[in-house]
Chain A
Amino acid sequence: MATWLIRRLIQAVFVVLAMTVIVFVGVHVIGNPVDILISPEADQAERARIIANLGLDQPLWRQYFVFLNGALHGDLGRSFVFNEPALKLIAQRMPATMELAVTAVLLSVLVGVPLGLYAGLRPDGFLGRSIMAGSILGFSLPTFWVGLMLIMVFAVFLGWLPSTGRGATAAFLGVQWSFLTWDGLRHMFLPALNLSLFNISLVLRLTRAGVRETLPMDFIKFARAKGLSPARIVMVHVLKTIMIPVVTVVGLELGSTIAFAVVTESVFAWPGMGKLIIDSINVLDRPVIVAYLMMIVLLFITINLVVDILYTALDPRVRLEAKQ
């Protein structure tokens, strides 16, 4: 276990390093942030002064080593645009994205698994077929369109829910959260639903497939023959067997939901990290781009780790370390 962990961590460090090199070179190739940020009325001397001020007059390799040196001391640089530490900017926006993504993933499990179970147990019923047909829509409709439709229906026509923004927040552990206030929950519902639609469909289909596959298996027949109640067979034996792919997918999807919540965030004007990173890419705010991607890489690595560990809990046959 320990060597396995160490190996994974060393891999992680290399992934992060490679990613930072790619971002440095990539941003450098696209253009110079000063061209975008500077006032068009500024003269050439002013432009040169700003470039020097931001350290962009240095050769790229030197800029990179300055960054690495800072990173080793826990400083990922200051945003060119906001003049605040990049990490602080991301930390400010992170809670909003986190609570949205976690709510969306929770929703996808809470809605997707029961629906999938039902569709798997009654594959030929009208409801079972409708659920499957509905899941195709969940997969294929573009998020931004669904988001706008949700706003049009629930906010503009029916007026039940607010259209955009984060609403009232309350402090918990020094951070502002929406899920602690009624107004915040009302604001969160539509974006969370929009973000979870794809995942609901995914989880639902996985669950259904798992159920269909597991039901004819010998151990289920044996459990039936043994006289276990149908409820126990489904809730314990079937569910436990099908959870392995579901946990993998939900785990990975949590990562991508956090990393790619950007469309939903921009449609619902949700002040999360996704909007920050898109705005930062538009103005080539390199410190923020690098810090954000480093965080996302670490997030994915952590989630993969947790998923691997969960495997062993769910399936005793899986061992993290091959025995010599």
Chain B
Amino acid sequence: MARTIVGLLVWSLVSSGAWAQTLNIASSAPVTSIDPHYHTLSPNESLDSHIYERLVDRDPAGHMIGGLAESWRLRDDRTWEFKLRTATFHDGTPFTAEDVAYTLARVPRVKNSPASFSVYSRAVTSTEIVDAHTILLHTDTPYPLLPSDLSQIFIIPHTLGPDPATEDFNSGKNAIGTGPYRFVAYRPGDRIEMERYDGYWGAKPHWRHVNYRIISNDAARTASLLAGDVDMIEFVPPTDLPKLRTDARVTLEEVVGNRAIYLWLDQSRTGPTPFVTGPNGETLEANPLRDRRVRLALSLAVNRQGIVDRVMEGAAVPTGQYLSPGTYSYVPDLKAPPYDPARAKALLAEAGFPNGLRISLHGPNDRYVNDAKIIQAVGQMWQRIGVQTTVEALPWNSFIGRAGKQEFSAFLLGWGTSTAEGTNPLRAQIATWNPARGMGTANRGRYSNPKVDALIDQALATMDDGAREKVIQQATREAMDDVPVIMLHLQKNIWAVRKGLTYEPRVDEETRAMSVHP
């Protein structure tokens, strides 16, 4: 009898101990693969950061820190030297320069990848192993962003052999990295289970087990936290924010992220643009959106603080640029444009539209936080300066293709700057669309400004970080002054943890069990 009781006591202690060391995380979107090179998708990268590691990691504020590389330096303009750390893969093989070369060779070869990581590896034209812990990476042209690009690529062991299959990662066979957690099980659409890797080179995380659950429904995610089924949720829905801020059971951790929400204006047509007409519906001879005064008027007419307070429930900050304060190449003196309807009206009149315009404003309704509500609010604000606006929200799957074909005149989109530095949005969004040079790849408004283009090229060729930051800031200032897009706000990244836990909120939206502390 006594033994049974002691046994039960011990059992209950042990089991509650095990329970206390399990962290249940609710993520908001499904992971599509355990293969770290298959799909550039933030839920995948968030999960992968537990199992695998990159050469260059990022701290919560987005600054580059050593990952599997201890340090890196330029040998000459086209050669980078990376000094590697002593680390061991989950299967016991030591990490060496050969694994880096193998990974960089594998990235562009992943079969059927719908969104390849080769955008981050393509600058490397050849690799040269100096010794087990030193590797040289060569580029065709001087390329200052290489460490930043490599902060997206997870290293896998060369022992996986030539062309490891994506399915073998999902089954766990190939899911081998050097990260602080090792893969245990993947239940598609439900959860990924991980356990602490005791051979990890860095600080040991607190949690022995991690259940990385997928709860895409916003209300259900909040309810799971309140019910105590999960310890942390990511992407706290803004509608629940007022309630959660006063709830004693949870703590909110928030930071301004690098995801900007803005409006594109069609610059591709010199003639009439399909969704803009004169005040009485008459076709215009020229596209008024190519007139800076019209763009500026539409920008000044938007009450950004109003949108942030009322539509976003405070889960955003007004912005005049793509990056969050404190990020490398953020422009401190570039503020969010003021709300000035009087000046907006005057500008419209000056541009030849004293009686306003008619515009259809398009946007997605299932992609960004409150996307459809934002364009409705903007529509009403434009109405006040005499721009009669109709608003049309579409599902993302039909919206994004049409936006890429310049079918709209004014439309909402978002841009998350994954590399946390200014050339990323400048190169993809602001630079003139040029397929041959790979510039302006996401320039859906087809904005073009030769002066800004020249500054972007100059930034991309400036190897010194300090000097480059100045050029990027100059390019950003020049560009934003010309209103290529109407910047609205930067989303806040918000996590909620149960009382007693803390989380270091990350600018890059990644949810990491390692950063949850009791």
Contact = CB atoms under 8 A, between A and B. Distances in A.
A82 B111 CA distance: 11
A96 to B, nearest CB: 8
Interface in B107-157: 111-116, 118-119
Contact of B441 (A36, A41, A159, A266): A41
Contacts of B401: 31-32, 35-36
B353 to A, nearest CB: 33
B481 interface: no
A205 B178 CA distance: 60
Interface in A46-60: 46, 50, 53-54
Given A31-B402, A269-B213, A42 B116 contact: yes
A30 interface: yes
A279 B224 contact: no
B291 interface: no
B424 A269 contact: no
Contact of A81 (B114, B191, B217, B224): B114
Interface in A151-167: 151-152, 155-156, 159, 162-166
B215 interface: yes
Given A83-B167, A281-B397, A155 B441 contact: no
Interface stretch (B95-103, B225-233, B456-464, B507-515): B225-233
B149 to A, nearest CB: 10
B227 A162 contact: yes
A39 B227 contact: no
B116 A50 contact: yes
B200 interface: no
B114 A31 contact: no
Interface centre among B33, B38, B224, B395 (most CB of A within 10 A): B224
A40 interface: yes
Contacts of A162: 227, 229
B201 interface: no
Interface centre among A148, A165, A271 (most CB of B within 10 A): A165
B188 A155 contact: no
B72 interface: no
Given A37-B115, A43-B441, A93-B189, A269 B214 contact: yes
Contacts of B229: 155, 162-165
A93 B30 CA distance: 14
B424 A89 contact: no
A317 B115 CA distance: 61
B400 interface: yes
A282 interface: yes
Contacts of A164: 213, 215, 220, 223-224, 229
Contact of A271 (B39, B187, B402): B187
Contacts of A208: none
Contact of B190 (A42, A82, A166): A166
Contact of B215 (A35, A44, A159, A269): A269
Given A83-B38, A84-B170, A38 B115 contact: yes
A284 interface: yes
Contact of B32 (A42, A50, A81, A281): A81
B188 A34 contact: no
B398 A30 contact: yes
Contacts of B191: 165
A31 B397 contact: yes
B32 A39 contact: no
A283 B418 CA distance: 21
A50 B428 contact: no
Contacts of A41: 40, 119, 418, 424, 428, 441-442
B67 to A, nearest CB: 20
Contacts of B33: 82-83
Given A156-B226, A282-B366, A93 B114 contact: no
B223 A44 contact: no
Contacts of B418: 41
Interface string A46-84: 100010011000000000000000000000001011111
Nearest to B439: A43
Given A31-B402, A39-B115, A269-B215, A45 B438 contact: yes
B339 interface: no
B219 interface: yes
Contact of A80 (B114, B188, B396, B397): B114
A279 B119 contact: no
Nearest to A37: B114
A283 to B, nearest CB: 7
B397 A36 contact: yes
A39 B220 contact: no
A291 B418 CA distance: 35
Contacts of B188: 82, 89, 92-93, 271
Contacts of B441: 40-44
A53 B112 contact: yes
Interface string A175-187: 0000000000000
A35 B404 contact: yes
Interface centre among B111, B188, B229 (most CB of A within 10 A): B229
Nearest to A53: B112
Contact of B119 (A43, A166, A275): A43
A292 interface: no
Contact of A37 (B39, B167, B366): B39
Given A50-B114, A275-B216, A281-B397, A43 B435 contact: yes
A43 B397 contact: no
B167 A163 contact: no
B43 to A, nearest CB: 11
A50 B227 contact: no
Interface in A292-317: none
Contact of B111 (A43, A46, A83): A83
A41 B39 CA distance: 13
Contacts of A35: 400-401, 404
B166 interface: yes
A36 B403 CA distance: 11
A166 B441 CA distance: 42
B415 interface: yes
A37 B227 CA distance: 34
Contacts of A42: 115-116, 119, 441
A45 B424 CA distance: 18
Given A30-B398, A164-B215, 7 more contacts: A40-B428, A92-B188, A155-B229, A156-B227, A163-B229, A269-B224, A279-B216
15 contacts: A35-B404, A39-B119, A40-B415, A42-B116, A81-B39, A83-B112, A148-B220, A159-B228, A164-B213, A165-B224, A266-B220, A269-B213, A271-B188, A271-B214, A284-B397
Interface of A: 30-46, 50, 53-54, 78, 80-84, 89, 92-93, 148, 151-152, 155-156, 159, 162-166, 266-269, 271-272, 275-276, 279, 281-284
